Amino acid sequence: MNNPNDEKHMLVLRASEDISNAEIVNICSQIAQYGIKADIEEIDGLEKLTTVFKSGKQYDYIYLATHGCESSWGNISGSVSITWIEFAALTCITDVLKPGAIFLHSCCRGGLNQVAWQMFACCEKIEFVCGPRHNLLAVDLTIAFNLFLYNLEIKRIDPVRAAEKVLDATDIRLTCFDKVETVSDIAYVNHSKQITNSIDQALTKFGFVNLQVQAEVIDNVKN
């Protein structure tokens, strides 16, 4: 087990009514053995998400349990809908993440690339984005992410390889995007240019008044 002085923290966001308690409890109990302390929050809208992100706490991981597509995520009833760009912008301006943070999510099989691209384009602190390549049951998700985090925290394996080893062990396809590798991809570059205005609008929406930093984010996307 890790030295307690090196304890890491994960923010677990339960963002749909049908996400089982067993899934959340399982993941939080398992990662405690890896020296990761979990904070669980129920998200019922953008206002609650903003409050959580502005709590002053910083995390090494965010785990988002929800439903989504390439452009947005929300709950199964449809009463919550938040775009990935809004989510990334809020992540960027609130400093909820420590540098080098890893974002884990349980959805978006069909739009995994776009989710990673938007998160990277809008939030420099996120180094890795990891999610499933196919629809999974809750039991599959917990096994996959537990194994991924075990490989990271106990075996000290590179995140991309840690995701690959989940496939080797279980036939569950997790994909982990490395920001360093992704930002040079021409598809990422083109997509980032297309969403420049959306990023600017999202940052402005949340009252981001540090114009210098906002300009740097937009310049990074353009370049």
DSSP per-residue letters across 102-164: EEEES--GGGHHHHHHHHHHH-TTEEEEEEESS---HHHHHHHHHHHHHHHHTS---HHHHHH
Task: Report mean pLDDT in 10-residue bins for the chain, 223 residues.
Answer: 66 93 93 96 94 96 92 89 94 92 84 91 93 85 94 96 94 94 95 92 77 52 56
Look up the domain containing 68 and give its range. Answer: 4-222
Q: What is the DSSP letter of 3?
A: -
pLDDT at 207: 77
pLDDT at 210: 46
pLDDT at 223: 58
Residues 6+ apart with CB under 8 A from 70: 84, 108, 110, 111, 113, 114, 115
Q: Number of folded domains in the chain? A: 1
What is the C-alpha separation between 165 and 173, in angstroms, rounded? Answer: 9
pLDDT at 159: 97
DSSP, collapsed to helix, strand or coil, labels residue 59 as strand
Q: What is the pTM of this model?
A: 0.88
pLDDT at 110: 62
pLDDT at 35: 94
pLDDT at 3: 45
pLDDT at 196: 92
Residues 6+ apart with CB under 8 A from 190: none
CATH code, domain carrying 76: 3.40.50.2300
pLDDT at 185: 94
pLDDT at 217: 53
Pairing of β 81-83 and β 72-74 = antiparallel
